[in-house]
Structure 1
């Protein structure tokens, strides 16, 4: 399947979100719940036109950015090496946004469910997809774990992103387990994410310094 078709699939998900907005609009309140606290209680609203348009438009803009990145990256030839995985991540991200939008619409139509749990489950799956992407990513300026040290060394890039791939997948697993502990679910996501971010930055610096001291060690 060519890249054009994969992006067409992602665009179809954006269009589907727009169609959901149009079809649901007559039955929705003028002020829609669009934000929930950690307890799953709505605590902020938006006007119906803004709430229905925001995510589809934002997703369309991001999809356009994803399409442009391989063309403008000075290391675009490296993105070409993992382009199918990149494209499928874009499809997965677009599906994530569609799920969030559909959840907001469904909640405001009166369907009873815990929106926060839905959101956290969707984020966990998205993080797993990030892990899959990092498993294949080649050095570039837009996609992957980019620190001064990964961008300065192909070896540091490869090993740091390999570690990041494992940690993001573990983060997804921990977050899904956290769904069983409703009161503390959010912490099962936030804490692993912060730990993953910290570890990958420190690890990339450590590897780079070790490479500088003795290139044969890395």
Structure 2
């Protein structure tokens, strides 16, 4: 990553986040909630050591995303959309740091373990915001093999790539809005309804991106 100051700042944030987890770690019970249903109820439990894994995940993700621009065959193109990549990296790091605290917040009764839509609202809402933000910036992404909507036809043709990213941006915004709606109405929709609201635009959008890219390749989309 060219912006070393940002990398250092994000790793420092991850280190502070991990250190804060270590402060609370000794007082945690041996078994902690690690999974929640769409109704916000804790439905999966595991060793408290899982919390340290979740706490280390943001730093690992930062290092991986910092490495990708160096090894991608189109590495030079990353320079053309560095602001977009930085925004994505910052947003994802903050989101992962926040999610890493769900277990502690549940153990200490800040979040309900036995029902309530707050957990699902926080997670789905956070994911929704990420998708909407990324969708708005996706048209600026240049050809590469690791970031963006990478269909075979988009990777082989720059015009197709640009068209596919524009359509991908629209799809990502739609998916993000669906996630935000699911976050707000999770309790009303129930688990089945929430799954439908999430999966229909998610899978439908992914399929449409591939179909659209192929149609551009065939010259059917003017």
TM-score, length basis structure 1:
0.89
State the distance in 2 between where 1:82 and 1:37 align. Answer: 37
Aligned: 1:22 with 2:22:
yes
Mark the CA change 1:101 to 1:168 in structure 2 (over 3 Å): closer, same or farther.
Answer: same
Q: Secondary structure at the match of 1:141?
A: coil
Regions of 4+ moved over 6 Å: none
Aligned counterpart in structure 1 of residue 207 of structure 2, from 198, 202, 212: 198
Q: 1:21-100 counterparts in 2 under 5 A?
A: 21-49=21-49, 51-100=50-99
Pairwise CA distance, 1:35: 0.7
Any conservation in 2 of the 1:160–1:200 contact (CA below 8 Å)? yes
Q: 1:152-191 counterparts in 2 under 5 A?
A: 152-182=156-186, 183=190, 184-191=193-200
Mark the CA change 1:141 to 1:198 in structure 2 (over 3 Å): closer, same or farther.
Answer: same
The runs of 5 or more residues in structure 2 that have no matched partner are 113-117
Any conservation in 1 of the 2:132–2:172 contact (CA below 8 Å)? yes
Count of aligned pairs between the two proteins: 211
Pairwise CA distance, 1:38: 2.6
Pairwise CA distance, 1:86: 0.4
The runs of 5 or more residues in structure 1 that have no matched partner are 212-216
Q: Secondary structure at the match of 2:46?
A: strand
Q: Which residue of 1 aligns with 2:115?
A: none
Say which is worse superposed, 51-60 or 163-172, in terms of deviation.
51-60
Pairwise CA distance, 1:17: 2.2
Say which is worse superposed, 117-126 or 4-13, in terms of deviation.
4-13
Pairwise CA distance, 1:148: 0.7
Say which is worse superposed, 53-62 or 201-210, in terms of deviation.
53-62
State the distance in 1 between where 2:16 and 2:136 align. Answer: 26
Q: Secondary structure at the match of 1:151?
A: helix
Q: Which residue of 1 aligns with 2:107?
A: 108
Q: Give the superposed CA RMSD.
A: 1.8
Pairwise CA distance, 1:187: 3.2
